[in-house]
Amino acid sequence: MKYLWIALAAGGLVAGCGVENKTENPQQVAETAAPSVMLNTKVSAPVAKKVPHEMTAHGVTRNDNYYWMRDDSRTDEEILSHLDQENSYVETVLAPLKKNREALYEELVSRIEKDDSTVPVLDNGYWYYTSYSGENEYPIYLRKSSLDAEPQVLLDANRMSEGHDYFSIGSYAVSSNNKLLAYSEDTLSRRIYTVYVKSLESEEKLDDVLEGTSGSVVWANDNTHLFYVKKDPQTLLGYQVYRHKLGTSQSEDVLVYEESDPTFYTYISKSKDDSVIYIHHDNTEKTGVTLIDANNPTSQTKVFLPIEDGQEYSVAKASDGYFVLTNIGAKNFRVMKAPLGATNDVSKWQEVIAHRPDVFLQSIEVMNNHLVVKEKENGMLRLVVHNLTTNEEKVIPTQDPIYGAYFNANPEMDTNKLRIYYSSLTTPGSIIDINLDTLESEVMKQTRVSDTFDSSLYASERVMIEARDGTSVPVSLVYRKDKFKKDGTNPLYQYAYGSYGSTVDPTFRSSWLSLIDRGFVVAIAHIRGGQMLGREWYEDGKMHQKINTFTDFIDVSKGLVAKQYADKDRVFAMGGSAGGLLMGAIVNMAPELYQGVSAHVPFVDVVTTMSDASIPLTTGEYTEWGNPANKAEFDYMLSYSPYDQIEAKDYPHMLVTTGLHDSQVQYFEPMKWVAKLREYKTDDNLLLFKTDMEAGHGGASGRFKRFESTALEYAFVLHLAGVPL
């Protein structure tokens, strides 16, 4: 329910800068100043009614006065009215910042290239890319038979979005004969997609419509059958894999796999050589793969390797077997090779890259003659090329000591080129092609920030902060050289996630320039619960060790102040989804440290949500947080659950946001949390709650519109920091 925030944390916050400001440029504003305007704080905040609702488990009775705020249909007029009142309260209180918000929005979106396109990718004889133009919010998906040919429009999301408050294309797939396109769309932001099929010759839609899907669709090689995952409409778990034959009704589709264990997520993909369709079974502590012959789609499925507790693996097919990234006998993973006919017998696998306790293997990319491994040692990333013919190993050189890099659109097997997305805290996102034999690289595209952006004006560094238990926590920092004094006067904006083993790499976020150019130090705290320092780093921040995630974040804040990276009176924290849980925990545990906290789509009602299997995605989270049916896990979750641990005390200024149609963290969690905070808190600090009535977990769907919420947050932060525009 919280996992997919990463897409927003890493992407939705990447916004822009570069328009005129009230000062000649933001670099010249005073680092410390009194707020330039007074907010409308005399207006009364909405007060929610209290309706006692008792819940008893393991001898503990909890009374939830705001349980009534849950409405799965999202039609209750009283609830919708209260959300509208909260939104009106935000606009009334922040009315004096209206011009600031507008200026920040223009600044943010000015960093988005209005006429832009992705680097074309060759796949099965066609070059595929997306294009944006002018003020259009959405992309156009295109392909060419050659780079100098006229493009064919596959999908125009701008036209398709007309009449919808929210619109998203989940994915699309072209049939093996290049004549048919299957694609999925969501018009509600609940991440339940409808799949359609169109002819790429006549441009006509076929009658085939597949409803209630996860959005992914994979073609069999007969150009007649396609596979998709159906979601449970209540829990929103994808759990059934169906085979659909073109020209037939969805009611006739064949169920090829059904997941009976509600702790698993199910999704599908296809091997790079197009010979195998994968059904992926994903639990936070064990994984598995089931195979479908793409050339014989009606044949029986085959289990790659039976799932076992604590055993994880992912596969990449080669011509003579499968490369397997696995933790079998290797806590930080190793790479093995499974023969085609003996995937279910580990004793017949061959080791390709041995386990090294101090090196975490994160992912692999396979071509015919090369294996590329993304690995980390002490949290420092490197990409290692293994020549499968000569057995040579080479590290791909990079320009930054700390950076993020991701394998990007490598659909071809018979190639010696690797495409990556590369970025650092000072280097904008770049698409780079690398010759795997020579390691020569070519920058195919670098994201434009503005005509005046100069990366040499900025600096990033990695520091280690000692946590209270003696553990050293890595922190990535970025600041503007001429604004940073390291004397304890710079305001700090600290971000983290810290769950599911998801690692937030130090990559460029152009939206942060709106803070950095005004004197902020921005920090990414690589706290336990992620995998920055390997698998153990994750395990030390989940289940009965979850408290380490929160104390790490708090100790990083204290450490950065002690090292004079930050002004102790101007420390700001931000997190979303599971990172919103983090925000809820730190304001309960150490509210005095933070002047302001931004909590986006926050997962804060841990015990109640995890106790209700009908709430979307709950059961898939038992191995992350625990199952409240077990007393020890119930007690531990209760000890940190932000909603349950609210006390009568002072809290920092807070901005809380959500989406009414959120499929990951239901809107009523932050709604209840804010209501209870208002009831208990003893301060006069701001508590603002903004609900996007059309959006879900990822916020607004348009490429410009989504930055309205970022502008709101930054206006809030800059005002509290006393930094004028």
User: DSSP string of 600-620?
Assistant: ES----HHHHHT-TTSTT-GG
User: Tell me, what's the pLDDT at 701?
Assistant: 55
Secondary structure class of 333 (helix, strand, coil): coil
Q: What is the pLDDT of residue 618?
A: 85
Does residue 662 have an active-site annotation? yes
Q: What is the spatial distance between Cα 121 and Cα 412, in angstroms, rounded to a whole number? A: 10
For residue 577, indicate whether it is catalytic.
yes
Per-residue model confidence (pLDDT) at position 663: 74
**Catalytically annotated residue among 161, 697, 709, 719:** 697
Q: Which residues contact 597 (CB under 8 A, 6 or more apart)?
A: 572, 573, 574, 583, 586, 587, 652, 653, 654, 655
Q: Catalytic residue among 161, 424, 476, 577, which?
A: 577
Residue 456 annotated as catalytic:
no
Q: Which residue has the tokens 């304890």?
A: 488
Which of 358, 441, 438, 364 lies closest to 399 in space, CA to CA? Answer: 441
- Distance between CA atoms of residues 235 and 224, nearest Å: 31
What's the whole-model pTM score?
Answer: 0.89
Q: For residue 35, what pLDDT is reported?
A: 54
350-353 β-sheet, strand order: 313-318, 321-326, 334-339, 350-353
Are the C-beta atoms of residues 240 and 258 closer than 8 Å to each other? yes
> How far is residue 284's CA from residue 609's CA, in Å, rounded to a whole number?
18
Where would I find the H helices in 630-667? 631-640
Longest dimension (CA), the chain: 73
Residues of the chain with pLDDT under 70: 1-36, 695-702
C-alpha 631, offset from chain centre:
31
CA distance 715 to 725: 9
Burial of 104 (0-12, 13-18, 19+ CB in 10 A): buried
Whole-number pLDDT of residue 529: 97
Provide the pLDDT for residue 278.
98
pLDDT of residue 16: 29
Q: Smallest Cα–Cα separation from 526: which of 496, 492, 560?
A: 496
Q: What is the pLDDT of residue 342?
A: 94
pLDDT of residue 7: 30
Active-site residue (options: 225, 662, 663, 692): 662
